[in-house]
């Protein structure tokens, strides 16, 4: 059995990467491995409670930015503070590795570098689990792909389109696969009295709920409700609300964040997933696992999920007319579409399990690794200094992180 440290991206359970890896962590713990998690100090109480209830030790570190400097998201502090905290993360994660006698580090997102660097310094294996396409907001990491390659004992990518993409970028090594897993309650959906259009997930530009609202506007069936369930990005929520008001659209309900979002869904609802981009489409899978008729955009993640589970209806992303027509057809033929969804439910649930989702990850982490000396970089001297001068210390840390990691001068 191994002692395994996971480096997690957000410290919240409102995204597929965190939800699915939490399920993997619980599975590994049940097999006898000692599991430890480290993430940013989000202050998210449900996240902390989930780890406590699962008996998984969880460290949360203060940060002005937990991700790479040029990754999506703002920096909540000055440049000097940024590099101060980067150095703190590296030192504290090293201490966790020592205290917990860690055998292997797993980084659960391409967006963090800390686990890769600490694993190299401590000369232990490092697995990189990648959920993000190197496109759009995540195209920044194309410049880091050599670093990812050099500082990974093994790389895993979401099965399907993302795995194929990364394999083409790194043809000299094997990119292993996984697919995100979420545990579905056996609780039945509420009994509904009318058919509604529902979308579950954070209200964001990428999730693209405005496309659903535009299709609903063209549908011209104001008696049908649209229910958007999930937290929100403030700017995008304002954009959505402004569009609804400007176009005098009725019966669009913003339900906000919910601890159990599917408890708001009924057996009469139709799920719409209009995302511009998904790596896998975990909410689409959740809809199928609940037996909810589903219409989703033809982005790579939804297609990857379809390749595994083989069910759902697609419209061409951005084609509002096509989406409107599909919604109209499903409203008209709801009973038949519902019966189709229920008829495949048993097969989908048999296919979709944490063991199947993480088969390659589980198999490989239970092996013993011979580390490639080429991947070990002796950076300890750059991380430690007896100089108490804060300006000198900041300069040293900036040299390490910005030049060595982001520009990758030293690491090459």
Higher pLDDT, 84 or 333: 333
Share of the chain above pLDDT 90, in %: 67
What pLDDT is attached to residue 378? Answer: 36
Mean pLDDT of 384-408: 46
CATH number of 3-181+356-406: 3.40.50.2000
Mean pLDDT of 134-145: 92
Higher pLDDT, 378 or 338: 338
User: φ, ψ for residue 319 (rounded to 5)?
Assistant: -90, 90
Residue-range domain boundaries for the chain: 3-181+356-406, 197-352
What pLDDT is attached to residue 123? Answer: 87
Token reading at 139: 């195209």
Q: Is the pLDDT of residue 411 over 60?
A: no
SS3 at position 198: strand
What is the H or E stretch that residue 314 is in? strand 313-315
User: φ, ψ for residue 126 (rounded to 5)?
Assistant: -135, 125
Burial (CB count <10 Å: 0-12, 13-18, 19+), residue 146:
middle
Q: Is the pLDDT of residue 121 over 80?
A: yes
Q: Which residues, 6+ apart, have CB-to-CB distance to 146 below 8 Å?
A: 408, 412
Considering the domain delimited by 197-352, tell me its CATH architecture: 3-Layer(aba) Sandwich (3.40)
Q: Which of 16-30, 120-134, 356-370 comes out lowest in average pLDDT?
A: 356-370
Q: Is the pLDDT of residue 215 over 60?
A: yes
Handedness of CA 177, 307, 110, 144 (dihedral sign): positive
Mean pLDDT of 360-371: 79
d(CA 240, CA 351): 37
**pTM of the predicted protein model:** 0.78
d(CA 232, CA 328): 27
294 within 8 A of 341, measured Cβ to Cβ: yes
Task: Give the helix ranges, DSSP H, for 247-358.
Answer: 282-289, 300-309, 320-332, 334-343, 345-351, 354-357
Secondary structure letter of residue 262 according to DSSP: G
Share of the chain above pLDDT 70, in %: 89
What pLDDT is attached to residue 137? Answer: 87
175 within 8 A of 169, measured Cβ to Cβ: no
Residue 390 pLDDT class (50, 70, 90 cuts): very low
Q: How many CA atoms lie within 13 A of 263 on its CB side?
A: 5
Q: Angle between the 282-289 and 16-30 helix axes, to the nearest 10 degrees?
A: 70
Among residues 158, 164, 156, the alpha carbon closest in space to that of 181 is found at: 158
177, β-bridge pairs: 157
> What confidence tens digit (pLDDT) does each residue in 155-177 have?
999 998 899 999 999 999 999 99
Q: Is the pLDDT of residue 410 over 80?
A: no
Among residues 282, 280, 10, the alpha carbon closest in space to that of 163 is found at: 280
Q: Is the pLDDT of residue 382 over 90?
A: no
What pLDDT is attached to residue 197? Answer: 98
> What confidence tens digit (pLDDT) does each residue in 328-340 have?
999 999 999 999 9
295 within 8 A of 330, measured Cβ to Cβ: yes
15 within 8 A of 111, measured Cβ to Cβ: no
SS3 at position 163: helix
Higher pLDDT, 308 or 100: 100
Q: Is the pLDDT of residue 395 over 70?
A: no
DSSP-derived secondary structure for 216-247: HHHHT-TTS-EEEES-B-HHHHHHHHHHHHHT
Q: Which residues, 6+ apart, have CB-to-CB distance to 250 below 8 Å?
A: 222
d(CA 325, CA 314): 12
Mean pLDDT of 2-11: 96
Shared fold status for 3-181+356-406 and 197-352 = yes
Burial (CB count <10 Å: 0-12, 13-18, 19+), residue 391:
exposed
Residue 367 pLDDT class (50, 70, 90 cuts): confident
Residue 375 pLDDT class (50, 70, 90 cuts): very low
Mean pLDDT estimate for the chain:
88
Q: Which of 62-71, 85-94, 188-197, 274-283 comes out lowest in average pLDDT?
A: 274-283
Lookup result for tokens 């299709």: 215
What pLDDT is attached to residue 150? Answer: 87
Mean pLDDT of 72-78: 90
Q: Is the pLDDT of residue 104 over 90?
A: yes
Higher pLDDT, 178 or 395: 178
Lookup result for tokens 């969880």: 58
Q: Is the pLDDT of residue 65 over 80?
A: yes
User: φ, ψ for residue 232 (rounded to 5)?
Assistant: -155, 155
Q: Which residues, 6+ apart, have CB-to-CB distance to 328 below 8 Å?
A: 219, 221
> What confidence tens digit (pLDDT) does each residue in 222-268 have?
899 999 999 888 999 999 999 999 999 999 999 998 888 999 999 99
38, β-bridge pairs: 7, 59
Distances (CA, A) of 17 to 181, 350, 387: 9, 22, 39
What pLDDT is attached to residue 341? Answer: 96
Mean pLDDT of 177-199: 89
Token reading at 386: 């007896």
What pLDDT is attached to residue 354? Answer: 87
Token reading at 167: 């394999």
Q: Which of 197-201, 213-217, 395-399 comes out lowest in average pLDDT?
A: 395-399
Secondary structure letter of residue 177 according to DSSP: E
């Amino acid at each position: 059995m191994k002692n395994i440290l996971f480096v997690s991206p957000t410290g919240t359970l409102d995204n597929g990467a965190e939800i699915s890896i939490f399920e993997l962590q619980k599975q590994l713990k049940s097999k006898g491995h000692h599991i430890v998690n480290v993430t940013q100090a989000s202050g998210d109480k449900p996240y902390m409670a989930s780890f406590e209830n699962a008996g998984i030790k969880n460290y949360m570190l203060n940060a002005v930015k937990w991700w790479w400097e040029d990754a999506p998201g703002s920096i909540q502090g000055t440049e000097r503070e940024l590099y101060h905290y980067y150095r703190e993360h590296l030192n504290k994660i090293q201490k966790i590795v020592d205290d917990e006698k860690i055998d292997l580090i797993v980084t659960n997102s391409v967006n963090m570098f800390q686990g890769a660097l600490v694993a190299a310094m401590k000369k232990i294996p490092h697995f990189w689990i990648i959920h993000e396409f190197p496109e759009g907001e995540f195209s920044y990491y194309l410049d880091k792909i050599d670093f990812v390659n050099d500082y990974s004992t093994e790389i895993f990518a979401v099965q399907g389109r993302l795995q194929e993409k990364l394999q083409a970028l790194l043809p000299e090594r094997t990119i292993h696969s996984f697919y995100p897993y979420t545990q579905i309650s056996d609780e039945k959906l509420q009994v509904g009295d009318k058919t509604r259009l529902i979308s579950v997930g954070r209200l964001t530009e990428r999730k693209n709920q405005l496309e659903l609202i535009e299709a609903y506007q063209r549908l011209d069936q104001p008696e049908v409700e649209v229910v958007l369930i999930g937290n929100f990005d403030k700017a995008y929520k304002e954009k959505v609300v402004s569009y609804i008001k400007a176009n005098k659209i009725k019966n669009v309900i913003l339900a906000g964040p919910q601890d159990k979002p599917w408890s708001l869904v009924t057996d009469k609802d139709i799920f719409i997933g209009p995302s511009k981009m998904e790596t896998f489409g975990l909410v689409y899978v959740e809809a199928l696992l609940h037996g909810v008729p589903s219409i989703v955009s033809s982005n790579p993640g939804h297609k990857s999920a379809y390749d595994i589970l083989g069910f759902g209806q697609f419209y061409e992303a951005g084609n509002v007319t096509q989406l409107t027509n599909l919604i109209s057809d499903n409203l008209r033929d709801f009973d038949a579409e519902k019966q189709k969804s229920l008829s495949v439910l048993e097969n989908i649930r048999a296919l979709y399990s944490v063991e199947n989702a993480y088969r390659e990850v589980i198999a490989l982490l239970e092996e013993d690794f011979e580390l490639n000396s080429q991947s070990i970089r002796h950076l300890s001297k750059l991380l430690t200094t007896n100089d108490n001068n804060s300006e000198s210390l900041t300069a040293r840390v900036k040299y390490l992180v910005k030049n060595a990691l982001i520009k990758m001068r030293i690491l090459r």
